[in-house]
Amino acid sequence: MPLDKNVYTVPEMRRIRRIHMIGVGGTGMSGIAEVLVNLGYQVAGSDLRESPVTERLRDRGVEVFIGHRAANVGTADVVVSSSAVDESNAEVVAAREARIPVVPRAEMLAELMRYRHGIAVAGTHGKTTTTSLIANVFGEAGLDPTFVIGGLVNSVGSNAQLGASRFLIAEADESDASFLHLQPMVTVVTNIEADHMDTYGGDFAVLRRTFLEFLHNLPFYGVAVLCIDDPVIRELLPEVSRQVVTYGFADDADFRISNMQRDGLTTGFTINRPSNEPLPVTLNMPGLHNVLNAAATVAVACDEGLEDEAIQSGLAGFAGVGRRFTRMGELNLPGGTALLVDDYGHHPTEVRATLDSARQAWPEQRVVMVYQPHRYSRTRDLYDDFVSVLSRCDVLILLEVYAAGEEAIPGADSRSLARSIRQRGQLEPIFVENIEDVPQILCSVVEQGDVVVTQGAGNIGALSKELAAMSFEQGARS
């Protein structure tokens, strides 16, 4: 009798029982920690500060230390290190001295994926949403996948889940080229643009070549699901020596998007498929970028033979991901009531997608963007693109660059950005040195019906929550 391909027996990592994770509060690390503890391993970890993530991990059974000390390593059999942790970290040093293996986060993810049917989602933009959509559709089909995602999946209140089936769906991180550790059965690449260029020596050709190498980590019987609308991916296609399935708006896409209709926050469209009838789809998210993310999901689901009804209901019922065009509530300010939206995007293309989505959803409203650039190196490398896209806001409140551990780079700070935007003559940016001053600025510029967008990957995410709470309190007093 043939084996049920969805039945999965969990292999064990030989000799490994106790796992210590440095930087356990990070999005990628926390998801892996949650899966490992649910697999029955003893998991401990350290981080610099308390957060909702560390609280959630404690609730799941992870021992969490605040601060990095050699004693935290204890009797661990292996230490997993975040990409933000360097070799001088006290816990890394202690582990090396004790001859305890120290492995990067992606290597542990690769180990979890090694005995499963791995689906890895890579690309400069759209990884988190696409990974979440695939996980939601597979769940709707009753396949109970394991997933590890770089954002909070609203429907489950976590960025990871241990499933009982053979499927593991995960984001593949190109920021430090660590995705080369992964050996999935299916790879999705959403797009390839310049970002994290310090990793690649400032050479886009190296970045491009690394993505190609990642695609060739697929076995010869695997499949690469690629967005043919992306010019770099289209150029790369002749060099890919694995089976390829394409998706996009282009006429030659295998899974081609057509008949798109936009109605506020809802988008309807059809996916024309190579071997099946066209599939009508409804997505409760605005934006062309999310339509492409959904098309990638349909391509993966069809490759795995999922039923159309599961695909349609999984997409239509998707509840979104934290900090991805998330409606936070209303701001009741002196100038009127405004809608508050929060988004994690920190690349010019992502900022443009947020602006386009806001204008699709609320075409008559002004967009007031509070933007915090992330990393001086990214601001330097993409300076002109940032100036161009930020000039499209109706009102721009520009915070200083969130350094993320980098030293300041002359000419790549927010004062310089504001000066360059002002010189274009499209709007007068408001530079705010201290994030604590943003509420006061909003009180002076927001008008009735505005859409306020907090955007960025730094500590601006906490600001959006504070603003939402302040508006609630003001509303209660009025």
Residue-wise pLDDT tens digits, 75-113:
999 999 988 898 999 999 999 999 999 999 999 999 999
Does 122 have pLDDT greater than 70? yes
Does 9 have pLDDT greater than 80? no
Q: Active-site positions?
A: 127-128, 171
pLDDT tier at 4, thresholds 50, 70, 90: low
HEC string for the chain: CCCCCCCCCCCCCCCCCEEEEECCCCHHHHHHHHHHHHCCCEEEEEECCCCHHHHHHHHHCCEEEECCCHHHHCCCCEEEECCCCCCCCHHHHHHHHCCCCEEEHHHHHHHHHHCCEEEEEECCCCHHHHHHHHHHHHHHCCCCCEEEEEEEECCCCEEEECCCCCEEEEECCCCCCHHHHCCCCEEEECCCCCCCHHHHCCCHHHHHHHHHHHHCCCCCCCEEEEECCCHHHHHHHHHCCCEEEEEECCCCCCEEEEEEEEECCEEEEEEECCCCCCEEEEECCCCHHHHHHHHHHHHHHHHCCCCHHHHHHHHHCCCCECCCCEEEEEEEECCEEEEEEEECCCCHHHHHHHHHHHHHHCCCCCEEEEECCECHHHHHHCHHHHHHHHCCCCEEEEECCECCCCCCCCCCCHHHHHHHHHHHCCCCCEEECCHHHHHHHHHHHCCCCCEEEEECCCCHHHHHHHHHHHHHHHHHHC
pTM of the model: 0.87
- Residue 109 located in a structural domain: no
Q: What pLDDT, on the 0 to 100 scale, is given for residue 94?
A: 98
354 and 205 part of one domain: no
pLDDT above 70 as % of the chain? 96
Q: Which domain CATH number covers 408?
A: 3.90.190.20
Q: Which of 229-243, 280-294, 314-328 has the lowest mean pLDDT?
A: 314-328
CA angle 394, 291, 151 (to 5 degrees): 80
Q: Which domain CATH number covers 149?
A: 3.40.1190.10
Q: What pLDDT, on the 0 to 100 scale, is given for residue 62?
A: 97
208 and 242 part of one domain: yes
122 and 264 part of one domain: yes
- Which CA distances in Å does 222 have to 85, 217, 241, 273, 453? 33, 9, 11, 19, 40
Q: Looking at 65, 82, 103, which one is the last position of a domain? A: 103
- Residue 221 located in a structural domain: yes
48 and 127 part of one domain: no
- Residue 110 located in a structural domain: no
Does 135 have pLDDT greater than 70? yes
Please answer whether residues 430 and 441 qualify as being in contact, where contact means their C-beta atoms are separated by less than 8 angstroms.
Answer: yes
454 and 308 part of one domain: no
pLDDT tier at 478, thresholds 50, 70, 90: very low
- Residue 415 located in a structural domain: yes
166 and 202 part of one domain: yes
343 and 363 part of one domain: yes
Residue pLDDT, tens place only, 393-421 = 999 999 999 998 899 999 999 999 999 99
312 and 351 part of one domain: no
23 and 124 part of one domain: no
Please answer whether residues 350 and 194 qualify as being in contact, where contact means their C-beta atoms are separated by less than 8 angstroms.
Answer: no
- Residue 232 located in a structural domain: yes
- Residue 184 located in a structural domain: yes
Q: What pLDDT, on the 0 to 100 scale, is given for residue 12?
A: 73
- Residue 197 located in a structural domain: yes
51 and 198 part of one domain: no
Please answer whether residues 303 and 273 qualify as being in contact, where contact means their C-beta atoms are separated by less than 8 angstroms.
Answer: no
Does 265 have pLDDT greater than 50? yes
> How many domains does the chain fold into?
3
Q: What pLDDT, on the 0 to 100 scale, is given for residue 5?
A: 52
**Rounded-to-integer distance, Cα 120 and Cα 170, Å:** 5
- Residue 211 located in a structural domain: yes
Q: Looking at 289, 316, 343, which one is the last position of a domain? A: 316
24 and 153 part of one domain: no
Reading the block at residue 474, the tokens are 């003001």
Q: Which of 232, 193, 189 is nearest to 346 (CA)?
A: 193
Tell me the mean pLDDT in the region 273-291: 94
**Rounded-to-integer distance, Cα 215 and Cα 185, Å:** 10
222 and 331 part of one domain: no
Q: Which domain CATH number covers 79?
A: 3.40.50.720
* Domain residue limits at 59: 18-103
Mean pLDDT (the chain, rounded): 93
- Which CA distances in Å does 384 have to 40, 356, 420, 421? 49, 19, 9, 10
State the CB neighbour count (10 A cutoff) for residue 326: 19
Tell me the mean pLDDT in the region 370-377: 96
Q: Looking at 261, 289, 316, which one is the last position of a domain? A: 316
